[in-house]
Amino acid sequence: MGEVVGLDAPPCRTVTAAEVAHLHEHGWVQLKRFVDPDVLAPMLELARERMGDDADSNPLPPQLEQAVAEGGKGLDYFNAQLAGGLRDPVVRPLIDEIGTSARALLARRNADGTPLGVRYYQDLFVPKLPSAKASRHGGNGPTAFHQDYITFAVDRTGGMTFWVPLEPYGPEAGTMSFVNGSHRMGVMGDYTTYGDGDALTAFPELQHLEMSDPIHYELGDVTVHTHLTIHGAGANRMDRPRWAWLLVVQPEDVCWNGAQCPNFDHSAMTPWEHLNGKRFPVIGR
């Protein structure tokens, strides 16, 4: 893929005070016209190069290859592919600019009163595949309502996910809904512990909270949710993939909590060690 160079404008705008307030009140926020659409076109091209036009032609990771050999499949809700945005000339500038807004959304301070920074944690292409078609990777089902926090093996809250659709989408594509205020209810376990249900059945008190409608995204719109926010999505009812890229960020002072985690190599780390260095750089200004 050819590099995009010479862009005069930043790849995204910064968040407003009203958007920061919405995130803290509801646990999520939609950022309208946040990313320059001209940045998203080469990102979609990159995703298709990596995963195929069907979003199902990328190699099976070893653990999924074993599962498929045993008659299983991958994640129900999307086909995840590491994007490697820190090394990509198109994606890295967007990551750095998003870091500035992530710091504003986190709204934490150091002891000296300066704003606490945020660290890059992971970025992924996450296409949801059409529900009416068979899939090698899985990824063609609904997204059960869940909370992200426990999956990241970190010792403190404050992490967020920026969910960036690479085309305009509405509910027929399986876009997300959020349970307003659920981020105030604490840690609610891993989705694999919910049996045949989801967070809404495991924690009936959530049903007393208001749920957002499935989000409509124009190209350049983004949603951000905290890792304590309960969210889910329907199946993709289109006849093509729902392409999206997500960026996960964590507070600058975050530590590994010692739990096994497939998201990063912790073989040479000790529990409660800070995430730092090239693997988890501070992003933004």
- What pLDDT sits at residue 66? 64
> What does the pLDDT read at residue 278?
86
Given this model, what pLDDT does residue 70 score?
A: 62
Domains in the chain (CATH in brackets) are: 17-259 (2.60.120.620)
| Residues 15, 38: Cα–Cα separation, whole Å | 19
The answer to whether 96 and 228 are in contact (CB under 8 A) is: no
- Other Cβ atoms less than 10 A from the Cβ of 25: the count is 13
DSSP state of 274: B
Torsion of CA 74, 80, 84, 88, to 10 degrees: 140
Give the pLDDT score at 5: 42
What distance separates the 2 farthest-apart alpha carbons in the chain? Answer: 56
* CA 65 from centroid of its chain's CA atoms: 24
Q: What are phi and psi of 172, to 5 degrees?
A: -65, -20
pLDDT by 10-residue block (mean), the chain, 285 residues: 54 98 98 97 97 94 66 78 94 97 97 96 97 92 96 97 98 98 96 93 96 98 98 97 98 97 92 93 94
DSSP 133-175: S--SS---S-EEEE-SGGGG-BSSS--EEEEEESS-B-GGG--
pLDDT number for residue 2: 40
CA distances to 12, 16, 38, 108 from 6, rounded to whole Å, are 15, 27, 12, 34
